[in-house]
Amino acid sequence: MKKEWKNAVCYLLLFCFCFAGGRLTAARQAVKASNMSTCGKLAIVIDDFGYNGEGMDEMLALPIPITAAVMPFSECSKEDAEKAISAGKEVIIHMPMESLTGKPEWVGKKGIFRSMNDEQIKAAVEEAYSILPNAKGLNNHMGSAIMEDKRCLGDVLDVVKEKNGFFVDSVTTAKSQGKTLAEEKGVPFLARRVFLDSTDDVEVVKKNLRKAAEIALRDGEAIAIGHVGPEGGNVTVKAIQSLIPELKSAGVVFVTASELAK
């Protein structure tokens, strides 16, 4: 009888232990769930304005905030920036910078090059701001060589700070000094998480945009970069347009890059 009583007590204790353990696990999961973001801010930066490129007007007509990154030394730089501002979109400078790979002409005749001295680099950034005076910030066009060079990038960031701007690292190299230097100089810093396009397949762009949305919902915010012109254009516009209702329903809030930089 004693043996049966002891067994009963053991089973009861085991049950209570398991029940308490289950409740604890459930509580932990509930706390974890409560700490997750119910919404995620997603800023879409669209590069290569300045050439009146394919998909530009359609991109500006999107019913969400976007940040138009305008090439400053192109034939349509001022015109495209004015169109973006008239459409209620934000403008930043898409600054051409020397790359470790690719053709020099992809950077253009004007830009930031390692052969330039400090005064020349700062003068080039100042000129870009004079062409695009309403720019809220700056990101790099190509630029892997400059993004790894502390002197050159530091000169660029000095001017951005003077203009009370922010810097978006397009992350064209894993060795970027952007975050470190921006923090040292007190320049608001953002980094691209997802490239949306460089494809003619709308479904690929949708997949990339959903990935950006997942990051925003997980981390609270994210930046995705797409393009007008041959690198994106109408393909990118169609993908964004078609996914707006889906992403909003999932909790994504579309914002400008400057809203994330605050």
More confident residue, 204 or 12: 204
**CB neighbour burial string for 229-248, b if at least 16 within 10 angstroms, e if fewer:** bebbbebbbebbeebeeebe
208 has pLDDT over 80: yes
33-53 average pLDDT score: 83
Q: Report the alpha-carbon distance of residue 181 to residue 184 in Å, rounded.
A: 5
State the pLDDT confidence band at 37, using cuts at 50, 70 and 90: low
Kindly indicate the confidence band of residue 33, based on its pLDDT and cuts at 50, 70 and 90.
Answer: very low
Mean pLDDT, range 184-198, rounded to an integer: 98
Question: Average per-residue pLDDT in the chain?
Answer: 89
SS3 assignment, position 36: coil
| Contact present, 66 and 160 (Cβ < 8 Å) | no
Q: Where are the alpha helices (DSSP H) in the chain?
A: 2-35, 56-60, 77-86, 104-107, 118-131, 144-147, 150-162, 178-185, 202-219, 233-250, 257-261
Residues above pLDDT 90, as percent of the chain: 82
Contact (CB, 8 A) for 185 and 157: yes
Residue 14 has pLDDT above 60, yes or no: no
Percent of the chain having pLDDT more than 70?
86
**Exposed/middle/buried for 204, CB within 10 Å: 0-12, 13-18, 19+?**
middle
What pLDDT is recorded for position 108? 83
Model confidence band, residue 123 (pLDDT cutoffs 50, 70, 90)? very high
Judge whether residue 116 has pLDDT over 90: yes
Q: What's the confidence (pLDDT) of residue 36?
A: 47
